[in-house]
Amino acid sequence: MLQDIDLRSLSEIRGNGRDVVSAYFSVDRGLSALSARQRQLSDLLEDDELEAENFDRSMQTIQKLLDEHSVTDARSICFFCSDILDFAKGFPIAVEVPDRLVVGPSPFIRPLAELQDEYETFAMVVCDNDRTRIFAVTNQVAEVEAAVRGGIKNHVRKGGWSQQRYERRRDEQLARYADEIATALDDMVQEQSVHRIVFLGAEETMRAIEEQLPEQIVERIVARDPFDLHRTEEEMLEQAYESYFDEERQDERDLWQKIKGESLRDGRATTGPAPVWQAAVIGRVEAAIVTRDAKLRGTKCRDCEQVSPEEQNRCEGCGSGNTFPIDLIDALARQLELTSATLEFADEMKGLKRSGHVAALLRY
């Protein structure tokens, strides 16, 4: 699963040049999706015999692994391989990922970091008074974690004492039913560290369940959407993701507002590629935010391995001219993984754009 890919261990892999091949492509087309890009990179690397040989052998290893292992239940796949560093790792990805082939000093994890940020596991509770199902939703796939049968009868219209006794019994049954659901949901949320919950279904049932939930679980509910449970599971998932992504966008705006507020009072925040990178290197960043499609370039030195948050011909650290360009957001994603900080990829916001597309909330 996407969320099980250990970005921290990938971030610890470091070469000293164009040592690592990172490939993202569709399962259906395989490496043929990258054939034109592969030829282009082969031509560009011809000036350095060692780099060219490493690239060719790494691509052969990826093809061999593809031939040996069939991939099912995935739309895309990514590989990180280096013949020089003697490692190769591949991961199936349930969602579609743009084709990419990159050569650099480390695994190119930016697409994975963005996907992990975008597709966190959440709980989907589909409920009415007859039955309830609790799903764990990851990467657009829903798996049933618990199912509870209710069988709560409808309200009656007759008046008198008999109706009142019936309604009392019905309320008691509904409360017991809701309590059983709440217990199962609480267990699932705690076990899987779920931070968002989407409710779909009958309003009465949703209210009853919420009344039985602990306050810390109620705070994780991001939507309570009336929904006809006779509709398909695909439609349920589509509705749930609509609410989930609304909350995701709001969380991004909230983080930016918090960073902006701290910056305005000269507090624990910084903005711009260079200040954010410098804070990340020494572990000061608690949470960073970057414009999703930002193209920020940096420079890495082959001699001392120092990264500069801008394009330069000579290394700021050792003065060497033996440098090469890098994707600064990719480098930042790795650095934040190594220091247990978070990175949010956000849609374009005017203030964030004017601040250099990247900003951070600081630990101190």
Q: Regarding predicted confidence, which is higher, 362 or 140?
A: 362
DSSP string, 322-354: -EEEEEHHHHHHHHHHHTT-EEEEE---HHHHH
> Tens digit of pLDDT for each residue in 265-276?
999 999 999 999
Q: Average the pLDDT over 346-350 and give the result.
A: 95
Q: Determine the pLDDT at residue 158.
A: 59
Beta bridge partners of 148: 132
Q: Determine the pLDDT at residue 160.
A: 55
Q: Determine the pLDDT at residue 163.
A: 65
> Tens digit of pLDDT for each residue in 105-127?
999 999 999 999 999 999 999 99
Domains along the chain?
Answer: 1-108 (3.30.960.10), 119-252 (3.30.420.60), 268-364 (3.30.1330.30)
Read off the pTM. Answer: 0.87
> Tens digit of pLDDT for each residue in 144-159?
999 999 888 776 555 5
Q: Report residue 41 as tokens.
A: 């990179």
Which amino acid, one-letter code, is at 6? D
Structure confidence at residue 213 as a pLDDT band (50, 70, 90) = very high
> Tens digit of pLDDT for each residue in 15-73?
878 899 999 999 999 999 999 999 999 999 999 999 999 999 999 999 999 998 888 77
Mean pLDDT over all residues of the chain? 93
Alpha helices, DSSP H only, in the chain? 7-11, 35-44, 49-68, 110-118, 161-192, 203-212, 215-218, 233-264, 273-281, 328-338, 350-354
Contacts within 8 Å (CB) and 24+ apart, 60-67: 61/88, 62/21, 62/23, 62/31, 62/88, 62/90, 63/31, 65/90, 66/30, 66/31, 66/90
Scan for tokens 């974690």, then name that residue: 145
Q: Which of 4, 5, 10 is nearest to 85 (CA)?
A: 10
Q: Regarding predicted confidence, which is higher, 78 or 16?
A: 78
Q: Determine the pLDDT at residue 220.
A: 96
Structure confidence at residue 141 as a pLDDT band (50, 70, 90) = confident
> Tens digit of pLDDT for each residue in 238-294?
999 999 999 999 999 999 999 999 999 999 999 999 999 999 999 999 999 999 999
Buried b (16+ CB within 10 A) or exposed e, 184-199: bbeebbeeeebebbbb
Residue 179 has pLDDT above 90, yes or no: yes
